[in-house]
Structure 1
Amino acid sequence: MNTITWDDFAKIELRVGEIKKAEAFAAARTPAYILHVDFGPEIGIKKSSAQITALYSPEELIGRLVVGVVNFPKKQIGPLMSECLITGFHNAQGEVVLCIPDRPVPLGAKLL
């Protein structure tokens, strides 16, 4: 494992957002959704591609709080310009489980 400094970690903007819209990403090579995530008034709504179709339906994602990296450069993923990275963990079957706060927090709150 590589170590990083506190200054390295402090550069990462991990923020809480609420999924406002989730739709199938038909053009993706691997099954994915396009998520529209509201990170609060300071950051706004950002789009992301998320390969979470094995465990989540679009309907159950709406209103869910997630943790995302909001300060990566934009990345072109097929026809989508991804603006953030939604975080998650692989379970024993290799499916992605979302990283979520276990209590309500304000949109845009930064991981400390």
Structure 2
Amino acid sequence: MTEAATAPTIGWDDFQRVELRVGRVLSARTFPEARKPAYVLEVDFGPEIGVRRSSAQITDLYTPESLVGRLVVAVVNFPPRQIGPLMSQCLVTGFHDAQGRVALCVPDADVPPGTRLL
């Protein structure tokens, strides 16, 4: 059985509560204090939300230099979460490939930072 087949059904109102927004990575650096290899990302979500920081375990497929300027999709309405010395302010989304590496979830066209997924 697949993971999707075991997930409970949700309603439209449930989905609407998850605020998925597009942001542009302003900076990325290694996060040596993390338990698993990770980067600290600073992501600009536009004037309404601003810049937020996130810890992202995406070191297998990306370098810090390759991330700067990229668009990402993140959940911006989770409560902040302490990850070592970092207060993570959003959750950058991605998918695991067959080897368990995380590939970012990204829009396939240029959209303004802060655009909400609907």
Distance in 2 (alpha carbons) for counterparts of 1:38 and 1:59: 16
Tell me which residue corresponds to 1:32.
38
Residue 59 of structure 1 aligns with which residue? Answer: 65
Within 5 Å, give how 1:32-111 maps onto structure 2: 32-111=38-117
1:83, distance to aligned residue in structure 2 (A): 0.2
2-side partners of 1:29 and 1:76: how far apart?
13
Partner of 2:4: none
Which has the larger Rg?
A: 2
Query: Aligned partner of 1:86: which letter?
Result: V
**Matching residue within 19, 22, 28 for 1:22:** 28
Which residue type is aligned with residue 27 of structure 1? E
Q: CA RMSD in A?
A: 0.4
Whether 1:13 aligns to 2:24 is no
* C-alpha separation in 1, matches of 2:113 and 2:37: 27
| Number of residues of Structure 1 aligned to a counterpart in Structure 2 | 112
Q: Kindly provide the amino acid, as one letter, of the partner of residue 51 in structure 1.
A: Q
Gaps of 5+ in 1: none
Q: Which aligned segments of 4 or more residues in structure 1 are displaced greater than 6 angstroms?
A: none
Output the amino acid matched with 1:15. Answer: R
Q: Residue 15 of structure 2: SS of its match in structure 1? A: helix
Return 5+ residue gaps in structure 2 as ranges: 1-6
% identical aligned pairs: 66
Name the CA distance, whole Å, in 2 between partners of 1:10 and 1:81: 25
